[in-house]
Chain A
């Protein structure tokens, strides 16, 4: 099984900050990596697929990079609507999620 590990688990930041979240896979997943945003009581929302492709309708301040086993999600200028929990997910072999990173207000 492929294990996904995110860091940090919690991140405190202010509006306007540049934020980076890291996701590591236990083995190579090429670029088969997605990022989701989830707010309390809501379903996850797809932000990024194939490691760096922006889903339609997602603001351009979100970007993804990486391949193989190391990936990052970057929010270039944090907005009030971005305080949420973020999950990475591999879909190279079955499907598996990271444990999540909560972005909270500093």
Chain B
């Protein structure tokens, strides 16, 4: 059974860096059959794609965030991570990690984690 679990601080200070990790179980993130991504959702608002990657490929980032976002991979732990720099209150959101089948949309999602940007 494939599962994804987000983890990281629930509170981040403005201008600092938001760091989250997605731990994947039941499938290897190195599989060429899938891609992985981050999606965020401000409270009470819609879904906003943040970034995605295929293992062994370059990551794709939302152009609106491109200068602030980085996705990295730790294959030894079967994890991938999100870093978002210079955060403001506008980055307060639920952050989901998700898996997609190659050529298809996200089919399996983590439960999400709430991150609040506040001093």
Contacts and interface: CB of A to CB of B under 8 A. Distances in A.
A97 B107 CA distance: 14
A42 B37 CA distance: 17
A51 B52 CA distance: 21
A97 B112 contact: no
B60 interface: yes
Interface residues of B, number: 21
Contacts of A38: 47
B104 A49 contact: yes
B106 to A, nearest CB: 7
Contacts of A36: 47
Given A34-B105, A55-B107, A43 B112 contact: yes
Given A1-B63, A94-B60, A95-B37, A44 B109 contact: yes
B49 A100 contact: no
Chain A contact patch, size range = 20 to 34
A44 B47 contact: yes
Tell me what chain A mostly uses at the interface: helix, strand, loop, or mixed. Answer: loop
A46 B47 contact: no
Given A50-B104, A94-B62, A87 B96 contact: no
A89 B105 contact: yes
Interface string B10-23: 00000000000000
Contact of A96 (B49, B106, B110, B111): B49
Contacts of B63: 1
A50 B104 CA distance: 7
B46 interface: yes
A25 B107 CA distance: 21
A46 B106 contact: yes
Given A43-B112, A95-B105, A97-B39, 5 more contacts: A44-B106, A44-B109, A89-B49, A94-B60, A97-B48
